[in-house]
Amino acid sequence: MKYADEFRDPVRARGVLAQIEEAIDEIGATADAPVYIMEVCGGHTHAIFRYGLDKLVPEGLEFIHGPGCPVCVLPMARVDECVELAERSDVIFTTFGDAMRVPGTRKSLLQAKADGADVRMVYSPLDALEIARRNPNKEVVFFALGFETTTPSSALCIQQASQEDLSNFSVFCNHITVPPPIKALLDDPHMKLDGFVGPGHVSMVIGIEPYQFIARDYGKPIVVAGFEPLDLLQSVLMVLEQIRSGRAEVENQYSRVVPDDGNPVSIAACENVYEPREKFEWRGLGEIDHSGLKIREEYKRFDAESKFRIGYGKASRIVPEPEGCSCSDVMTGKIKPPQCAQFGKGCTPEMPLGALMVSTEGACAAYYHYGGARPELEPAQ
């Protein structure tokens, strides 16, 4: 198949759904004892609800929504530090738009901007670099956030700033990596997981090798998937076929985009600029070993944590979630979003209480927007 329409073809989708139903029957899964498949990536969560796939699959299959939305897992203490930086009179704080509304203890970046802080939305770290060039009397900080997908662009940006010897540019690094939280979830004795739909965009950078431990050490299948409805259905079927035949392997459904060995240029740039932190805090999941990245000593002059004496290892602190917020239970699959007492009442996309309601990739926002989606393959409006 070549065009997006073909990956949304209802006839083909019905054929794959019939095979999914057959596999579920053979495995013997039921509504009371379903097969639990985690879609790791927030983009997949969004696609599942947008196309109503959760309602189309048989009852013996349950999606568990994973921690793969970087905005949703950003701990509140880091948002507070962003606000702290943004409120400095000598700072222009630059960020991707989706981080603007994440609630901090006092306020979000959007509220800080409304209160007078110079917070600017950018589409690329290179935009922040340009702002630094044009404002030599200001300190320009770029809020680097995201998984392996966005890490190469900020790494290349730091390399560029180094080449130009820009002294008023720095990066507040909050990059995180996918394999460590998957391991943490697999180590959680309360987690019920039978297999994974693996992240497509992240894998485009890192390839499929970093997931081998999931099959080898935990005996769980993982299939790296694309983002169209047929990509997801085919990937679910591939996971079920592994379970049905007693296999646990890493497979690549998204091979039209994901090379098995990833993108070596991006990997090299990331390794040159970043190294793993010992620990990093995830909202709802706590601290996870080696799950965050920090800027290497060689590029320390571009590290906002070092420049402004904030951040992890210095002023790091764990800030409790707001009262009534059940984000951690949603993220670990213990409850579904509508089971949170705040869902749609004290927490809406317009006024989010928890991070899962902020980003379109957050499970609560996806439920809120598409929870009532009819089971059809045309996207809900």
Closest to ligand SF4 by CB, 95 vs 342, is 342
**How many residues are given for the chain?**
381
Using CA atoms, how far apart are residues 156 and 162, in angstroms rounded to an integer? Answer: 10
Closest to ligand SF4 by CB, 324 vs 375, is 324
Question: In the set 139, 354, 366, 373, which binds ligand SF4 (CB under 6 A)?
Answer: 354
Question: In the set 92, 288, 327, 366, which binds ligand SF4 (CB under 6 A)?
Answer: 327
Question: In the set 24, 47, 77, 340, which binds ligand SF4 (CB under 6 A)?
Answer: 340
User: What would you report as the CA-atom Rg of the chain, rounded to the nearest whole angstrom?
Assistant: 21
Closest to ligand SF4 by CB, 155 vs 327, is 327
- 370: contact with ligand SF4 by CB under 6 A: no
Closest residue to ligand SF4 in the complex (CB): 354
Strand partners, 95: 121
**DSSP characters over 312-378:** TTTT----PPPTT--HHHHHTTSS-GGGSTTBTTTB-SSS-SSGGGTSTTSHHHHHHHHTT--SSSS
**Smallest distance from the beta carbon of 316 to ligand SF4, in angstroms?**
23
Using CA atoms, how far apart are residues 282 and 67, in angstroms rounded to an integer? Answer: 9
**Smallest distance from the beta carbon of 62 to ligand SF4, in angstroms?**
18
**Smallest distance from the beta carbon of 161 to ligand SF4, in angstroms?**
35
- 364: contact with ligand SF4 by CB under 6 A: yes
What is the phi-psi region of residue 197: left when phi exceeds 0, alpha when psi lies from -120 to 50, beta otherwise? beta
Question: In the set 91, 225, 347, 373, which binds ligand SF4 (CB under 6 A)?
Answer: 347
Q: Given CA atoms 121, 125, 131, 135 in this order, what sign does their dihedral have?
A: positive
Stretch near ligand SF4 under the rule CB under 6 A, chosen from 88-96, 117-125, 272-280, 337-345: 337-345
**Strand 195-198 and strand 222-224: pairing?**
parallel
Question: In the set 71, 343, 361, 366, which binds ligand SF4 (CB under 6 A)?
Answer: 343
Question: In the set 27, 110, 330, 366, which binds ligand SF4 (CB under 6 A)?
Answer: 330
Count of residues interacting with ligand SF4 (CB under 6 A):
14
Q: Give the helix/strand (H/E) hosting 206.
A: helix 200-206
Closest to ligand SF4 by CB, 288 vs 356, is 356
Q: Give the helix/strand (H/E) hosting 13.
A: helix 10-27
Identify whether the C-beta of residue 185 lies closer than 8 Å to the C-beta of residue 300: no
Identify whether the C-beta of residue 70 lies closer than 8 Å to the C-beta of residue 45: no
Binding mask 287-326 for ligand SF4 (x = CB under 6 A): --------------------------------------xx
**Smallest distance from the beta carbon of 160 to ligand SF4, in angstroms?**
37
Identify whether the C-beta of residue 193 lies closer than 8 Å to the C-beta of residue 185: yes
Cα separations in angstroms, 239 against 218, 295, 378: 15, 37, 24
Q: How many CB atoms lie within 10 A of CB 369?
A: 16
Question: In the set 357, 366, 373, 377, which binds ligand SF4 (CB under 6 A)?
Answer: 357
Stretch near ligand SF4 under the rule CB under 6 A, chosen from 102-110, 128-136, 263-271, 341-349: 341-349
Return the residues of window 27-56 that contact ligand SF4 according to CB under 6 A.
Answer: none
- 356: contact with ligand SF4 by CB under 6 A: yes
Question: In the set 353, 366, 373, 377, which binds ligand SF4 (CB under 6 A)?
Answer: 353
**Smallest distance from the beta carbon of 32 to ligand SF4, in angstroms?**
25
Stretch near ligand SF4 under the rule CB under 6 A, chosen from 36-44, 82-90, 148-156, 352-360: 352-360
Return the residues of window 69-108 that contact ligand SF4 according to CB under 6 A.
Answer: none
Burial 10-47 (b: 16+ CB within 10 A, else e): eebbeebbeebbebbeebebeeeebbbbbbbbbbbbbb
Identify whether the C-beta of residue 333 lies closer than 8 Å to the C-beta of residue 36: yes
**Interacting residues toward ligand SF4 by CB under 6 A:** 325-327, 330, 337, 340, 342-343, 347, 353-354, 356-357, 364
